[in-house]
Amino acid sequence: MLNHYSKNYKEMSNICIFCDNENEAKSVEHIVPESLGNTKYIMPRNSVCDNCNKRFSKFEEKVLTKTVFAFERARFAIKTKKGNASIGKLNKLEFSGDKNFRKNIVSIRGISLDDFKEFDPNTGSGQLVIPGFVGSENATSKFLLKVALESLYKSQKSTFKSHNFNQLKEFLNTKSNIDWPFITTSIIMPEFKSIPRFEDKHHLNEIKCSISFCKLDDKNLLFKFKYGGVTAIINMLDRNLDWIKKYRTLDETLTVLPEHYRKKLSDSTENKE
Ligand SMILES: [Zn+2]
């Protein structure tokens, strides 16, 4: 009886939450990447296998060097693992953090006047438009869903257990590579609740990161990732667009990504009217 119990227990604790394989992982899985400054919020041992961890590092690296999160990382003067200033590239804009690690100093190369919106030559001012996720949308969706599932497993076990995340897993295991929509928004959403608690939450706040969730209904379990001034939200259960319609009425500046979902969204709205 005792043997039976310990065998089951051992198996349970060695199952990867993404691919369901038994494993003895050698690497430590950071829920929020170490490259964003997270050192403490990590997964329990063997809950993510080395194969999955390795596969994830490809899209993670893309998000951390080729999206607006990379820009935020440079702005906060986060050091790379080798102790250098972080660098990134958004389309033709290349940027790097301050080499003396002072915050809010970012060097940018490759700017042209076309990058400015409403440029006024008299005052020399305008808005610099940074293409936040161009070419990295699919990687960003995967990145968000990875952080989402891991953080629920770590800090909100009952929510983790009471939902079916098969579509999310298939997407992250690259059995299905169809784009998964997410939004960026600037409005405050009080209905979201922090996933990590106590010290974990505090640690993430210190690195300007917060992760939270909100259950709308059986089809919509939303995950919000905020790093610096950038907030992205994704539905963990499937690719439906219904939840986005609700937020679009509250925030006109809301952006739906990847872009082809924007057309799909406006088509479906017109059909209903
Ligand atoms: Zn795995």
pLDDT tens, residue by residue, 122-133: 887 877 777 789
Mean pLDDT of 177-200: 94
Q: Which of 59-63, 83-87, 119-123, 265-269 has the highest mean pLDDT?
A: 59-63
How far does residue 55's CA lie from ligand 1's centre (Å)?
A: 9
Mean pLDDT of 242-260: 91
Confidence band of 11 (pLDDT split at 50, 70, 90): very low
pLDDT for the residue numbered 206: 95
Confidence band of 214 (pLDDT split at 50, 70, 90): very high
pLDDT for the residue numbered 60: 95
How far does residue 17's CA lie from ligand 1's centre (Å)?
A: 7
How far does residue 159's CA lie from ligand 1's centre (Å)?
A: 20
Q: How much is the pTM?
A: 0.89
Peptide bond into 181 cis (omega under 30): no
CA torsion, ordered 14, 17, 19, 25, to nearest 10 deg: -40
How far does residue 231's CA lie from ligand 1's centre (Å)?
A: 28
How far does residue 5's CA lie from ligand 1's centre (Å)?
A: 24
pLDDT for the residue numbered 273: 47
How far does residue 16's CA lie from ligand 1's centre (Å)?
A: 5
How far does residue 53's CA lie from ligand 1's centre (Å)?
A: 7
How far does residue 238's CA lie from ligand 1's centre (Å)?
A: 20
> Given a cut of 90, is residue 7 above it in pLDDT?
no
> Given a cut of 50, is residue 3 above it in pLDDT?
no
Question: Which tokens is 193 given?
Answer: 């609740």
How far does residue 175's CA lie from ligand 1's centre (Å)?
A: 13
pLDDT for the residue numbered 271: 58
Segment among 7-21, 64-78, 105-119, 185-199 with least mean pLDDT: 7-21
Confidence band of 266 (pLDDT split at 50, 70, 90): confident
pLDDT for the residue numbered 79: 87
Mean pLDDT of 79-89: 88
Mean pLDDT of 196-219: 96
How far does residue 10's CA lie from ligand 1's centre (Å)?
A: 16
How far does residue 62's CA lie from ligand 1's centre (Å)?
A: 20
How far does residue 63's CA lie from ligand 1's centre (Å)?
A: 21
Mean pLDDT of 128-156: 93
Distance of CA 147 to the CA centre of its chain: 6
How far does residue 153's CA lie from ligand 1's centre (Å)?
A: 14
Mean pLDDT estimate for the chain: 89
> Given a cut of 50, is residue 267 above it in pLDDT?
yes
How far does residue 23's CA lie from ligand 1's centre (Å)?
A: 8
How far does residue 79's CA lie from ligand 1's centre (Å)?
A: 29
Q: What percent of the chain has pLDDT over 90?
A: 61
How far does residue 146's CA lie from ligand 1's centre (Å)?
A: 12
> Given a cut of 70, is residue 270 above it in pLDDT?
no
How far does residue 15's CA lie from ligand 1's centre (Å)?
A: 8
Confidence band of 253 (pLDDT split at 50, 70, 90): confident
Chain length of the chain = 273
